[in-house]
Amino acid sequence: MKKLFAKLFAHTPSAKNIDWKNIRSVLIRPIGSGLGDSVVLSAAFKQLKKAYPNCKLGILSTPRNRSILKHIPFVDEILPNNLLTAITHCGKYQIFIDYQSSFTSKTILFDFFLAPSYTICFEKKTKKHYNANTVRNYNFYVPNLAATHLSKSLALTPFAPHINAQTPSYTLTNPSPEALARVKAFFQPNVPNILVCPFGTDRQVDRTLLSEMLNKLHQHTHCHFILPFLPEEYPLEGSFTYTGKQDLEAFLALLKQVDMCLSVDSAPVHIACAYQTPLVGFYSGDNYNFKLFSPIGNHSTAVRSHTSANGPVKVIDNWSVDEAFEKAVRLLEARKK
C-alpha cells in the first residue's frame, strides 16, 4: 500500500524558472518539533532574510514549538503543520525546505498538495517503503546533513552562492519585561548566578559527576545555582534555588539574565547561544549529533562523554569533571572583563 502511495503522490516537482538571486518565498519544515530545533533554524532564517530582504519566510509549527517560533524575528508566517495548511497554501510558496528526518505518508501528502515550485530535501532515514530512492518529491537532495553544523546547512543547497558568508548565529527576541522582572526573585546579589539544566526530554547528565563539578565550582567562585525544576525531578546534594517548572517566557528570562548556563544537550544550549549567555553544554559521544547540534559562538563550549555511542544516550556519563570545571571558570572570568 505504501509503495503505491509513493507512486501516486511522491512526484518530483517541476522547477519553474528559479532565479536564485531573487527568491520570493520560502517555507521550512523543521527537523523536529523541539524548541532547540527551532532556535538552531533561526540561523537559516537570518541568512535568508539578509540575502532576500523582501522574501516571505514561513515555517511549519506544532503546539510544542509555536511559542518559541514567535521569538524568531525573521519569520513572517507560522503555519500549523497539517494537511489543511498545504491545501490552503497550494502554490503559494516558491521554495520548500524539508529538514524532517524521515518521509511519512502524512508529509508526502502534505508536499503533494503544497505544490511548491522547488523542493530542497535533507537527509532522510532509510525505511522499507519510504526512502530517498522510492520517494522523489524533491528537486534537490542533501544526503548527509551532518556534513556541516545544522546552522550552516543552507551552504549545502543551491542557496550557497547567495546567502551571507558570515559565521551563522542564532537570534531570539527578548522575553517580556514582566518575565525579566519576575525571575529576578530567584537571583542572589553580588555572586555569579548559574542556571543548571541537567536533563531534557530524552537525556540527562550523570548526577554524581554533576554534583562533584557543582561543588568544586561553588568552592572556587561562591556562585549561586538556579535549577528550573523541582528537587524530586533530579535530586542533587547541596544548597540550590529550585524554581519549579516555568513557562517559556520565564525560562527565556532566566537564560537571558544569568551569568552562565550549564546544560545537557537540549534546548537551553541553543537558547543560551542566541542570547550570548556563557554556556557549558554536556554532550554524549555521538559524533553525528554533535556535528549537527554543538553549541556555537565565542561564549559557549562543550564537554563530551568519553563513552563511544552510536546515537544519543539517556545518561551522559564518563565526562571529565576537571575539564567542565576549568571551562566554566574561564567563561565566568571572561564575562568579568
Q: Is the dihedral of CA 42, 45, 47, 49 positive or negative?
A: negative
Residues 216 and 211: their CA atoms lie apart, in Å, by 9
The DSSP letter of residue 159 is T
Domains in the chain and their CATH numbers? 2-156 (3.40.50.2000), 177-336 (3.40.50.2000)
pLDDT-derived band at 1, boundaries 50, 70, 90? low
Q: What is the pLDDT of residue 314?
A: 87
Whole-model pTM? 0.94
Lowest mean pLDDT across 136-140, 168-172, 251-255, 279-283:
136-140
Instruction: Calculate the average pLDDT of the chain.
Output: 92
pLDDT-derived band at 313, boundaries 50, 70, 90? confident
Q: What is the pLDDT of residue 129?
A: 78
Asked whether the predicted pLDDT for residue 147 surpasses 80, the reply is yes
Q: What is the pLDDT of residue 127?
A: 79
What mean pLDDT comes out for the span 107-122? Answer: 94
pLDDT digits (tens, 9 = 90+) for 6-49: 666 667 777 778 999 999 999 999 998 999 999 999 999 999 99
Residues 6 or more apart whose CB falls under 8 angstroms from that of 192 comprise 221, 223, 224, 259, 260, 332
pLDDT digits (tens, 9 = 90+) for 232-276: 999 888 889 999 999 999 999 999 999 999 999 999 999 999 999
DSSP E strand stretches across 109-244: 118-122, 140-142, 193-197, 204-205, 224-227, 241-242
